[in-house]
Structures are given as structure tokens and as C-alpha cells.
Amino acid sequence: MKREDLKKLIDVAAGREVADLVIKNCRIVDVGSGEIRQGDIAIVQGLIAGTGDYEGREVLDARGLYAIPGMIDAHIHIESAFVTPEEISRLLVPFGTTTIIADSHEIANVAGLTGLAYLLDAADKATLHIECVVPSCVPATPFENAGAILEAEDLEAPLADERILGLGEFMNFPGIIHADPAVLDKIMAAKKANKLIDGHSPGISGKELCAYASAGILADHECSTREEMQERLANGMYILMRQGSACHNLEDLLPMVTERNARRCLLCSDDRQPKTILEEGHLDDHLRKCVKHGIHPVTAVQMASLNAAEAFGLKDRGGLFPGKRADITLVNNLGEFKAKHVFIDGVEVARDGRYLPQVEGADISPVRSSVQDKHFSIDKLKLKQKSRKVHAVDIP
Amino acid sequence: MKREDLKKLIDVAAGREVADLVIKNCRIVDVGSGEIRQGDIAIVQGLIAGTGDYEGREVLDARGLYAIPGMIDAHIHIESAFVTPEEISRLLVPFGTTTIIADSHEIANVAGLTGLAYLLDAADKATLHIECVVPSCVPATPFENAGAILEAEDLEAPLADERILGLGEFMNFPGIIHADPAVLDKIMAAKKANKLIDGHSPGISGKELCAYASAGILADHECSTREEMQERLANGMYILMRQGSACHNLEDLLPMVTERNARRCLLCSDDRQPKTILEEGHLDDHLRKCVKHGIHPVTAVQMASLNAAEAFGLKDRGGLFPGKRADITLVNNLGEFKAKHVFIDGVEVARDGRYLPQVEGADISPVRSSVQDKHFSIDKLKLKQKSRKVHAVDIP
């Protein structure tokens, strides 16, 4: 922030200067006090100057609408939606999402750091705030034929990049539990860079979970039972309650949320495909389910905003407070959470489900032609049967 | 943290190696899940390795006791207790406090950056974790005859010091509200250093409070009414509920604490003198009052630990979680909160109210002889009356 911008912000907040935009007469869902109050939101230079009674050069009358902080998906793989960063922006923003924590595992698994570099550049150009982590486990297991291998030394440069929040989901949990040397090197690289380490620890418990958590793991999005959730909370981990296209954990976990642990509970998609998004929405879908299961609407909104901002150290957002980014979603009510207007950095970017920015595709040439099989023929897809029975994997 | 220490930590957590110390059979007050459970706490090299069922070279049977995270005073002036850092450690630790956020305003107001340097050195040597902020307003007002003037450029070096969390309470709130140039420079210095800015905003509200908060003010410890507290929460500020020797705000504010804003509420002393500490305790006194006023004991403990750690970015403490500092207080119950054993970095430092470390005084020569009045005589204390009436200040 520049000094003159700080002055302007204070001048608008104090009422000495007129705001760029004022959202008038909305019901402000205040994740700080936990209450809902009537008021205006004054915006200047992309930031919230204040809430109360303000005048603006531009005014939006939001009577009857609820203003909630722009929603934050705490863990999502853009690649799982089969689209580019600018297209995930177009998909998610109309539902009220303004920030995603993007784990670039898949693209890095195919295209290594070139893939990550492409993702960061494309993310910079997207309207949606796309906050990236560098994948910790490329390949995910040594049995994989991945397109890249990222060792600790390969992670040092990305971890030093200010656009990178930290290490992505540490899928190699056995490696941590057994203090595998190469894994320790990766953990140390993140600690030295003072960056976070996201988690992924399905099924482990007891001392194994303690060992995993002791390495400084921030969170887990793999809980599917209340017992798993309880134990991870007790180990200091945030719980990213997942509702994706394949995995539907949110409603199983909601009964475990209490007034004293809700702050440690966040919302995420992990993998959410366009069909699911277009049919069921994004975090608005999570919020509907939360409220349906008896979570107080303000608590649910905290999960979708403040909790994620706190967990991932995004100090510039998470609440409709003076000085924060003007990432604001106006919804019809606190049961349906239908996004009527969505603002990112003070600019209206979606209205009534319509995405307003022009989508300009980033240059994808660095990651083109990544499917490489020089010896492919239709013959390779044929099932070579020795008997009339074949092994099959159960697909639920 | 060194790589071999990380390995050792994981090895102990996983049960492959024996812990240095195990606190057996305690009731663990878990600020993550919000529950209380029975278990052991394994400690190695000053850190918590895990909770559950562990073996240690040294064992403390804590049957019947409750383990809470070492308590954190979110705002205190050591100088107001008229003692040195090593003596405030001796005063506070036996009551279960393991960290204080020390605002060095008074010593810097007398001895400038020399005073701050002394405080930092003495704090390093103290057993208590003393986390310092550099005072933002020396002198507090231009009408003061202070021993130093600290301008923005003087604050740059302290703000770059990794031992300094940020700028101390920004008492010159009119300066922020009116966007005073010298004040903007100080705010910018903190922002450039990516450091926090603590607050102090008695009495202001509405647009003035928005203007103050918009500068990025973290917290306020000056609330004395519920309305003030509500409005500061709504502006994104943490509330440091104060219970000192002179100011007793805690009990007035507790009725405002709800399940959705308790996370933004912290405990502090501001100014607490030895007489008060010895007679009434420290944050244990706050906790007793919280519980007496109907706050759930685990919520109260969160206020005294996790909330402060989150607010002040102390990621290495705040909960009894694997990988965190072994700052642990064992209390008799969750009504009296009488500290039976206190551990800092895994070492027992107080037992049954007795402070165990040898107190070694730091060198105070840099700040000696700070009371300077070359022309003092007893005559100066005489009241020079022109009539039989004199002006007097009401002392409550």
C-alpha cells in the first residue's frame, strides 16, 4: 500500500472524502461481532473504508440483501475442474467465491515447475483471487509415472516466491510418520521459508497422527468421520470440510461442529467439476447445507471467510472491516445464499449469476502437448482376456 | 528448528523414542476441539510431541489436574509493575502465565531506544516469554516532557528486529483519524515491515473509529462499555479485556462475549502492580471472573491462550498440540485455576506458587540514573498559595 492510498482510505473512512462506491442499506453479516446489522459499506481504491452511513460517487442500493465477506475455498485443485484459472474464475465467482487456495498438484505432477509457473501467471491475470501452494508430493507416490519429480531443493525457489502461501497437501503422510530423510528436507524447506504446510492424512490416528501433526501440518481435508475430525482438531489442525464432486464429507462432519471449535472449521471443494458447480453451486452449496444442519448462519459465513483467512494468513480479507479488501458478496438471504452481486477488490464482477469481466485466456503454450504417448494405438485399449473373468476395481 | 530436532520430535511423537518428560494422566483442556479429555502429554526438547499414551525418561503424575496452555497476557507494561523483566517473570509465572506481550512505552518514553534495547536484552534472559512491541507514540502527546522522541525513521530498525512483533498501542488516535503526516509515516513503517499495529482508542466511535481501524489497527484494550466493545469487534479489532490494578473492565465486558465473537476476545492487564498480582493473581484472576460470569471454562482458556496466539501471530504456541512449545500450566480445577505446576519450553518453572529458576538480574547500567533534575530541592515541593483555595484533580 502506498502512503497516499492510506491517506485517501482514512479520509474516506473519516467522511472527509467521498467513497468510490457505497453499497447502501444492506444487512451486514459481521464475522467479527457475530451479529447482523443494517448499514452502508464504503469502498475506495478496492478497499473497505468503513461501514455505517456513507456517501459515494457510485451507489448501489442493496436494500433487502445480506452482505457477506467474499467466500474462500480453503482447498481446491483447479485442474480437477478440467479448466484454466481464468475459467475457474468464471465458474466460481458468480456463486460468491472471491478467493481460492489452489493446490497445483496435478499440473505440477504433469508439467513440473513449468506447470506451476504457468498457473501462477494465469492466476495473476484471473479476476478471482487464486492463492497458490506448491505441491509437496510430486509424484504422489514412487509408484507413479509422473511428468516430474520435485525434491526439497526444487521447492526452495517456489517457497521463496511471495505468491506462494506454502507447501500443498502433504500426501506422503507415511514419509512424515517415519521421518523419511527426503520428506524431512521438504518440511525443513517450508519452515526455513516461514511458509505453511497443508495436510492430507486419511485414516491415520493416535501416535501416527501426532507424528504427522508434530511436523507442523496446518490442516486436513480428508476427514470423513466425526472421530477423525475430533482427533485432528485435538492435534491443532484446521478441518477443511469437503464437498466436492466425488467426496461429500461436509454433512457427515457438521454434527461435530460446536461453538468452541467452529473457528477451526473451514469449507473446501478439493475436486469440484463444472457439472457440479453449474448444477449445485460452490461454497453457497456448503452454506445451505450448514444452515440446514442447524449451524447458525453467521457461524457458517465465518467458516466460509474469516476462518480460512486466519488459517492461511490472508490478513487482508476475511471480514467486512475497514482496511480489508472489498471482496463482498450480496446474497438474497441466509438460507439460500443466492449471490446477487459479487465484488472483488471493490469492482462488481458478477450479477445475478452472470460473470461480468471479459475472460482473456492466458498463454497456455508452456503446458501444451503434455499428453505424450508416441506408441498409442486403438489396440492398446483392448481388453486382453485369458478367461471370461477379469479383475475390476469397485467404482462407487 | 534444526533438521535433527524435527526428526527427534517426530520419532518421539510416533513412539519410536522415549520423551524427555511425560505429564501423565492429566485432563487436557483442548482449545482446538473445545473438549476436555484424559491423557498424557509427551515433551521433547522443549516441544510437545504428542498427547495420548506416552512413556518418558521423566514422569510427572498429574492425576486430578487440568492441563491448560500456558497463559498469554495480550498487553502489559512491565514498567507499570515497577520491576525489571526478570522480576515480572518471577511475579507472573507462578500464576500460570508463560507469555506476555510487553508494550515498552514507558521505558522508551524515558530512555528512548536505549531503554528498548535494555528491555529486549533483559527479556531474552527472562524465563517468561516476553514478546515486545516498539512504542508507537513517544511522547504520547506533544505536551509531554518525555525523555525521547521517536519518529517513523527511528522505528524502522526496531520494526526490522525479529524480536519485535510490531508497533505498540497507537495512542495518538486523533493523529490517525486526521491522517497526520508523521502518523502516516509510522503506520507505513509498520506495514512495510509487515508487522502488526496494536491499538488504543478510548471513547471514539462511528466514522472516527472506522478511520482508526482502516489504518490496520489490530486490537483495543480500552473498551469500558459493551457498546464500545461491540463496535470495535464490528471493525475487525480484537478486544483485549483488561483487568489491571487501576482499570477493571473485564466484568463489564463479559456479558458481551458470545459463542461467535469469543474468539476475538483476549485477556490483558495493561498495568498490574505487584500488590495486585500477589493478592489476586494474574490471568488466573481473569479466568475465575470469566467462569463466574458464565463463560464456559474452555472458552475462557481459549481467550487466555489460543486467541492471543492467533491475534499476535505466535504460531508456536496457544494450544497443547504436537509441535508447539511445551508451555503448559497444570491447574487444580477449572473454577479456581490455581496453578500447581507451570512449564515453559518443557521445563518446570513454578510449583505450588513457588518460582523455581534462579533470578539473574540483567545489566541495568544503560538505563540507570534516568531521573534527572539538577535543580531539585525540597522547596520545589512546596505549595505556593495565592489564596486559601487551590486547584485539585479528582483522584478516584
DSSP B217-255: B-EES---SHHHHHHHHHTT-EEEEEB-SS-B-HHHHGG
pLDDT in tens, B274-297: 999 999 999 999 999 999 999 999
* Window A:46-105, CB contacts with B under 8 Å: 47-52
Does residue A374 carry a pLDDT above 90?
Answer: no
A24 and A104 housed in the same domain: no
A57 to each of A14, A44, A60, B129, how far by Cα in Å? 16, 10, 10, 50
- Which residue range(s) make up the domain with A307? 70-315
Q: Say what angle helices B3-13 and A181-192 make with each other, to 10 degrees.
A: 120
Last residue of a domain, one of B21, B45, B64: B64
The continuous run of DSSP H or E covering B118 comes out as helix B105-125
Residues of A in contact with B44 (CB under 8 A): none
d(CA B32, CA A209): 15
Asked if the structure places residue A272 within a domain, the reply is: yes
CA dihedral A277, A282, A284, A285 (to 10 degrees): 60
A272 and A229 housed in the same domain: yes
Q: Check residues B197 and A393 and name the one with the higher pLDDT.
A: B197
Does A296 sit within 8 Å of B177, measured CB to CB?
no
How far is A322 from chain B, CA to nearest CA, in Å? 4
Query: C-alpha cell of B249?
Result: 473492565
Does residue A396 carry a pLDDT above 60?
Answer: no
As a whole number, mean pLDDT of residues B52-71 equals: 98
CB-CB neighbours of B368 under 10 Å: 10
Q: Is A188 on the interface with B (CB under 8 A)?
A: yes
CATH of the domain at B45: 2.30.40.10
The continuous run of DSSP H or E covering A230 comes out as helix A226-234
Asked if the structure places residue B354 within a domain, the reply is: no
Q: Summarize chain B as % helix, strand, coil (round to 5).
A: 35, 25, 40
pLDDT (0 to 100) of residue B144: 80
Ramachandran class of B82: left when φ > 0, alpha when ψ lies in -120 to 50, beta otherwise:
left
Contact present, A100 and A130 (Cβ < 8 Å): yes
d(CA A103, CA A125): 17
A96 to each of A74, A354, B209, how far by Cα in Å? 14, 11, 29
A25 and A107 housed in the same domain: no
Residues 6+ apart with CB under 8 A from A384: none
Contact present, A50 and B211 (Cβ < 8 Å): yes
pLDDT classification of A69: cutoffs 50, 70, 90: very high
Asked if the structure places residue A348 within a domain, the reply is: no
CB-CB neighbours of A106 under 10 Å: 18
Instruction: Choose the mutation target among B260, B265, B266, B306 for the interface with A, i.e. most A CBs under 10 Å.
Output: B260
B163 and B301 housed in the same domain: yes
Contact present, B85 and B126 (Cβ < 8 Å): yes
CA dihedral A215, A219, A225, A227 (to 10 degrees): 50
Asked if the structure places residue B98 within a domain, the reply is: yes
Query: C-alpha cell of B205?
Result: 466511535
- A7, A272, A185: which is closest to B211 by C-alpha? A7
Contact present, A259 and A252 (Cβ < 8 Å): no
B178 and B294 housed in the same domain: yes
Residues of A in contact with B316 (CB under 8 A): none
Asked if the structure places residue A58 within a domain, the reply is: yes
pLDDT in tens, A74-102: 999 999 999 999 999 999 999 999 999 99
Number of domains in chain A: 2
pLDDT (0 to 100) of residue A372: 76
CATH of the domain at A285: 3.20.20.140
A80 and A58 housed in the same domain: no
CB-CB neighbours of A146 under 10 Å: 17
Query: C-alpha cell of A195?
Result: 511458509
A205 and A296 housed in the same domain: yes
pLDDT, chain B, mean: 95
pLDDT, chain A, mean: 96
Asked if the structure places residue B394 within a domain, the reply is: no
d(CA B341, CA B326): 13
A247 and A269 housed in the same domain: yes
pLDDT (0 to 100) of residue B391: 78
A76 and A59 housed in the same domain: no
- Cross-strand partners of B378: none
- B234, B290, B276, B306: which is closest to B92 by C-alpha? B276
Residues of B in contact with A177 (CB under 8 A): 10, 14
Q: Is B125 on the interface with A (CB under 8 A)?
A: no
Does A206 sit within 8 Å of B13, measured CB to CB?
no
User: How many percent of chain B have pLDDT more than 70?
Assistant: 99
* Window A:205-224, CB contacts with B under 8 Å: 206-208, 210-211, 213-216
Last residue of a domain, one of B293, B315, B337: B315
Q: Check residues B140 and A99 and name the one with the higher pLDDT.
A: A99
pLDDT in tens, A130-187: 999 999 999 987 788 888 999 999 999 999 999 999 999 999 999 999 999 999 999 9
Asked if the structure places residue A208 within a domain, the reply is: yes
Residues 6+ apart with CB under 8 A from A212: A173, A176, A177, A199, A201, A204, A235
B36 and B146 housed in the same domain: no
As a whole number, mean pLDDT of residues A362-390 equals: 84
d(CA B327, CA B71): 8
Last residue of a domain, one of A315, A345, A366: A315
The continuous run of DSSP H or E covering B112 comes out as helix B105-125
Does residue B36 carry a pLDDT above 90?
Answer: yes
A251 and A285 housed in the same domain: yes
Does A35 sit within 8 Å of B230, measured CB to CB?
yes
B189 and B275 housed in the same domain: yes
Query: C-alpha cell of A7?
Result: 491517506
- A306, A351, A281, A334: which is closest to A342 by C-alpha? A351
- B130, B101, B129: which is closest to B346 by C-alpha? B129
Does residue B395 carry a pLDDT above 70?
Answer: no
Asked if the structure places residue A12 within a domain, the reply is: yes
